[in-house]
Chains A and B, each alone.
Chain A
Amino acid sequence: MLNDISKQKWSFTITPVRLILIAISLAGFALIAYRLITGLGIVTNMNDEWPWGFWIAFDVMCGVALAGGGYATAFLIYVLRIDCLKPVARGAMLTSLIGYLLVAVGLLLDVGQWFNFWRPFVSWGHSSVLFEVFLCITAYTVVQILEFGEIFTERVGKKYHNFFKKIMPALIIIGIMIPTMHQASLGALYLMMDGKLYPLWWSPIIFLFFLMSSFFVGPAMVVVESSLASKAFGHKIETGVLKKLVRIGGWVMLAYLVIKVCDLIARGKIGYLTDGNIESYLFIAEIVIGIIIPLIICFSRLANNRAWLAVFGVLTNLGLIFNRLNVVVTGMARNAGSLYLPAISEVIISLSLVAIGALVYLFVCENFPVLGKETHKYAN
């Protein structure tokens, strides 16, 4: 098997979809250059009332959470040893690595003094949750690059392959511990927004909600990814495996819903649900679309059907994106006293990051043994 992949020529098939992705990426590059030259005021709709906008909400908050599929599947497969899930491991972990690299780029574009990004390493602001998030995300990205080394050395620098194989167990444990911490801490960033973030979203245990949702979005992401990959590479993961994965996510999701409701009751904020204002509608929509419908799919017979599993995946992902946008944008609007809608250039730059990520993913899957044996047959 190793020989097969190394004899194969480097390839990157051009398809219409890939051309569109390339076009979006190029548009993004142009806007990124413009942003770096002119600053944030012209390119984005952010201002003093809205210091954080779409980039933090989407590129960072959603990016990190959606990349949570990596640590979630690593935990299920390598720690809990649910062996039947193994076919999804490499794909999920590759998505996660690319996700984190894009988050890093997104962050660099968002901060004012991007060349100063290394400052926290030497000037510790250890009271800040952001300090922990920064250290963890950096460390985890390095760990993921090393984890990818195992795949990479199957083709390039083969003599190091055994070394990477040996350090994998340690990498995997560190690579689960660290993201658990910073997934929670991304939520903990908002602990300070007591009174600023709308009470439906603010909670003294908001970090728990961020952690749990990053975990259950993992299976959802894997399901979506595997349906896309099955189209692109003809690589199909058994429905039974996906169902099992989705059910595990479903239990965490159920716990999330129960804790969320209990938290609202305990804080005496459950009445906010019936206020009939925009926040209450958005909150209910977020819960129904992203939690309740997926739960119904997950624990009914629908879970035996591949198409419904894909619906589960899409809705759960949308629900998570919805949630993060609500925390960063909608939930802060009442306090800001003004409205914020991202500028078109902000959205294009974010989309271009996604497009670049998709292209890298496609390239790696085409040239490295990521998606399991079927891929090799297909590639040969």
Chain B
Amino acid sequence: MSKGVLVDLTKCIGCGSCYVACKLYNENKWSDKAPVNGKAAKLADENWTVVKEYNISRDNCNALRFVKKQCFHCEHPSCASACFTSALRKTEEGVIVYRSNLCVGCRYCMVACPFEIPKFEWGKAFPVVTKCMMCYFRVINNEKPSCVSVCPTQVMQYGDRDELLVEAKLRIDSNSAYIKHIYGENEAGGTNWLYLSDVPFAQLGFKTDISDKPAAAYTSRYMSLTPILGAAWGLVLTGIYFINKYRKKNAAEKQMKANDSEGGNNA
């Protein structure tokens, strides 16, 4: 059963408790280069979650919206399927965890992630990848992720993904202010973090052109066919190799015999 979090952006006041809790729990440093709040808030190697501020106009007035960003924890994670050492892996709880000791630092996960979540320690001599791991050790102890547990306005609800989806649909149906879309229900094949909003998601920096087909599906089909096709190709090569070899040999022998008989006639 996948665990997930339902984020109701209409409730967020941008206080920043969540990123403070995240920094404390994961022992990440604060960085001047990558702010965790404001309009320039940016996920980075030390920022596993940030709260980004958006000025939007609604019914001819300006309004503020705050968007908490972190890993979406996909149902079919591209990063884990891209990882060639299984350093990134999806657990039974639906959490995408990362073990840096297995990582080679190739960054294919960063290229593959449809949400551009994994970040890299560019400033270090021996850098690794970093990202939100949904406070995995809290999750397996039946605790909420630290960001969820500290939120004063109950923006986030933690639970089983299926139940969260039911709850999300209830909220959308009972209140016309919501956009009729649960971000994360189908994006990239579905994510365990689900978002509700009263402002179109495109205006809040969400990628809205993400295919519902998980990218991992392309590679899993490719990878399942590769060994068979490779072996078949090897057999074909061997076959042609020997056929052509004996053809050449026979042709050469015939030529020699022809030469011999010609030579005999002449003599």
Contacts and interface: CB of A to CB of B under 8 A. Distances in A.
Interface of A: 36-42, 46-49, 51-52, 75, 78-81, 83, 110-117, 119-120, 123-132, 134, 169, 172-174, 176-178, 180-181, 185, 188-189, 191-196, 204, 207, 332
Contacts of A49: 116
B218 A204 contact: yes
Interface of B: 43-44, 78, 80-87, 102-108, 110-112, 114, 116, 119-129, 209-211, 213, 215-216, 218-220, 222-223, 226, 229-230, 233-234, 237-238, 240-241, 244-245, 247-248
B44 A129 contact: no
Nearest to A40: B122
B120 A79 contact: no
Given A191-B215, A196-B114, A173 B103 contact: no
B110 A48 contact: yes
Contact of B104 (A46, A78, A116): A116
12 contacts: A40-B127, A48-B110, A51-B120, A75-B237, A112-B105, A125-B85, A129-B222, A177-B233, A180-B233, A181-B230, A191-B218, A192-B82
A176 B238 CA distance: 10
A128 B81 contact: yes
Please classify the interface of chain A as helix (H, G, I), strand (E, B), loop, or mixed, using the class held by over half of its residues.
Answer: helix
B127 A112 contact: yes
Nearest to B122: A41
Contacts of B43: 48
Given A112-B127, A119-B85, 5 more contacts: A47-B122, A81-B244, A119-B103, A125-B85, A130-B84
A112 B81 contact: no
Given A38-B125, A128-B81, A177-B230, A192 B112 contact: yes
A112 B103 contact: yes
B207 to A, nearest CB: 8
Contacts of A112: 103-107, 120-121, 124, 126-129
A125 B219 contact: no
Please indicate which of the listed interface residues B121, B211, B226 has the most CB atoms of chain A within 10 Å of its own CB.
B226
A143 B84 CA distance: 22
B215 A192 contact: yes
B123 A41 contact: yes
B157 to A, nearest CB: 29
B83 A128 contact: yes
Please indicate which of the listed interface residues B84, B120, B223 has the most CB atoms of chain A within 10 Å of its own CB.
B84
Contact of A51 (B44, B111, B222): B111
A49 to B, nearest CB: 8
Given A113-B104, A128-B82, A46 B222 contact: no
B106 A130 contact: yes
